[in-house]
Amino acid sequence: MSRFARGQRVFFVEEPIFSDETTRLEISQREDNLSVVVPHISNTDRETQTVEGIQRDLLNRLLDDNQIKQFVLWFYTPMAMSFASHLLPEVTVYDCMDELSAFKFASPELFENEQKLFKKADLVFTGGQS
C-alpha cells in the first residue's frame, strides 16, 4: 500500500474491534498519504444493529468526511462485501492469495460473498503453485 500512497491517498481498513467503547473510526497516519483505519464497534450498538450495517455506516462516513469520490476498492477478504458492496469504485481489485472458502470451518457466507466479489472485480490476484 505504501507504493500506492506515493501518488494518492490510501485508507487501509482493518478488521473491527468490539468493545464497550463508543462506535467510532480510529484513523492513524502511517506515512504521507497512508492512513490505517480501525473500526471500533460498541457492544451496545451490536445489540440493535448488525455488525455489517455498522461497518457500512462507518465506511460511508469515512468516504464523506474525507471527500472521497473516485477510488479503487481493494479487497483482501470477500467478507468485506457484506458492508462495501453498495460502493461504486472506479476499479475493484480482489487480492485472494488463499482460497478462504475452502478452509475447514469457512462459513457459507464466505463462499457467497466470494462469488459476488468475483463478479464485481475488475482485477483478481491469485496465488498458487508455480
38, 62 in Cβ contact below 8 A?
no
Q: What is the pLDDT along the chain (130 residues), one digit of tens a residue?
A: 788 899 899 999 999 999 999 999 999 999 899 999 999 999 999 988 999 999 999 999 999 999 999 999 999 999 999 999 999 999 999 998 766 656 666 678 888 999 999 999 999 998 766 5
Listed in sequence order, the residues at least 6 apart from 104 whose beta carbon sits closer than 8 Å to its beta carbon are: none
- Asked if 23 contacts 62 with a C-beta cutoff of 8 angstroms, the reply is no
As given in the structure block, the three cell numbers for residue 57 are 455506516
pTM: 0.87
